[in-house]
Structure 1
Amino acid sequence: MEYVSLGLKILMSAMLLFAGFYHFYKPKFYNPIIPNFLPKLAVTYVSGLVELMLGIGLFIKGYESISAYGIFILMLVFLPIHIWDATREKPAMKTKKIAYIRILIQFLLIAWAWYLYQNDLT
């Protein structure tokens, strides 16, 4: 079971590092999902930086648990944006079906982060 937990930790970290990097590499990619009343570039860069820090934090001794909890909170913060997107006439996810699947994935990410936090993978 320990290897499964380590694998889940590595995979979560890799996903966050990739996503965080992508926020800086292709920031306009995220524009459609960010509501117009928010400063799109600032939100993209801040969320990318947070993802990078949390992904790295999963492997810094003494920060693993707080990083997992931070991922849990971040995924909760992103959830309303995905719900909002699914309710739009033209979702950023291209179709309503994909937008609703993305919400389900968000719940999976929330549960995954909570698992990492609860199992304190130090």
Structure 2
Amino acid sequence: MEQMFLYSRFLMAVMLIAIGLHHFYKPKFYYPIIPAFFPKLFVTYASGIVELVIGIGLCIPNYQKYAALGMALLMIAFLPLHIWDITREKPAMRTKKGAYIRLVIQFVLIAWAWFLFKKLN
């Protein structure tokens, strides 16, 4: 079971680092989910930096629990965007079904991060 936890934490770290880097490689990919009143490039880069920091933090023993909590809080912070996306005529996720699936994934990510945080305490 301990090995499963290690793999789970490693997978989340790799995922966050890859997605964080993707924010810099393809910033326009994230623009459709960002409301128009936010500066899109700034929000994209800022969230990419936060995801990179959390992903790296999950790999550093003294910071793992803080990184897991940060992941849970970040996913909660992103939750309104995914709820808002469902209400749009043309969701960023291309279809209403896609937007609903992404919302479910958001809850899975929150639960996963919370599981890691609780396990690390």
For the pair 1:66 / 2:66, whether they are aligned, the reply is yes
Output the TM-score relative to the length of structure 1: 0.97
Q: Aligned ranges for residues 1-122 of structure 1 at < 5 Å?
A: 1-120=1-120
Q: Which runs of 5+ in 1 are unaligned?
A: none
Identity, in percent, stands at 60
Aligned pair count?
121
Could you give the per-residue CA deviations for residues 3-36 of structure 1, whole angstroms, max 9, x where no partner exists? 1101110110011011000000000000000000
**What value does the CA root-mean-square deviation take over the aligned residues?**
0.8
The structure that is helix-richer by fraction is 2
Q: Distance in 2 between matches of 1:90 and 1:45?
A: 24
1:40-64: CA deviation from partner (whole Å, max 9, x where unpaired): 0000000000000000001112100
Give distance in 2, aligned partners of 1:89 and 1:61.
Answer: 44
Q: Could you list the runs of 5+ residues in structure 2 that have no partner in the other structure?
A: none
